[in-house]
Amino acid sequence: MAILDILEFPDPRLRNKADPVTQVDERIQTLVADMLETMYNAPGIGLAATQVNTHKQVVVIDISEDKDQPLVLINPQIDILPDEEKEYEEGCLSVPGFYETVTRPTHIHVNALNKQGERFELEAEGLLAVCIQHEIDHLNGRLFIDYLSPIKRQRIRKKLEKQHKQQA
Ligand code: QAP
Ligand code: CO
């Protein structure tokens, strides 16, 4: 297992669109194990392969208190149940140090492959639904800060660019 480097905004590679996984083989299982280790180490509650510069449709999530309930979504398909929307304070390992309110649909239905490559379905609401939508956005090259005003996004960009220069 390995802890992977996480890309940070405004890295243009975060805008890549992930390709579907054609076969859930040993390489994908290693990626999943490394992503889980990277997420738990951060610590975070969700990570998309895009964030570790692998442009395949793989997401890991664990919103449990004890960090013992990993959820793996491969090739996730999402259906929005458009009855209700809710605000949530979101953050992102690729936008460290920034938390902002985003409005998203409350209820979703997800169809995905697990890490054994078996198809399963899931209905989600609350934090899990927010997290799944946030991570699937990553696979489509979208970040939670894209839902903010251009002025807010620009301010975050400048602050992170400055930090990256100081680290270099
Ligand atoms: C996505 O995000 C999410 O800024 C997962 O300094 C977050 O795990 C969905 C993190 C909130 C719904 C609600 C962020 C860690 C972790 C930071 C994360 C940071 C350190 C973010
Ligand atoms: Co994120």
* pLDDT recorded at residue 103: 98
Q: What are the structure tokens assigned to 107, written together?
A: 């209820």
Is the distance from CB of 12 to CB of 44 less than 8 angstroms? no
Strands (DSSP E) along 5-145, which ranges?
Answer: 46-48, 58-61, 71-90, 100-113, 119-124
* pLDDT recorded at residue 1: 85
Is residue 7 within 6 Å of ligand 1 at its C-beta? no
Is residue 44 within 6 Å of ligand 1 at its C-beta? yes
Q: How far is the CA of 61 from the centre of ligand 2 (A)?
A: 11
Residue 164 C-alpha from the chain's centroid: 21
- Residues 61 and 63: their CA atoms lie apart, in Å, by 6
Is residue 131 within 6 Å of ligand 1 at its C-beta? yes
Q: Which atom of ligand 1 is nearest to the CA of 42?
A: 15
* pLDDT recorded at residue 28: 98
Q: How far is the CA of 35 from the centre of ligand 1 (A)?
A: 14
Number of neighbours of residue 146 by Cβ within 10 angstroms = 11
- All residue ranges of the chain with pLDDT < 70 are none
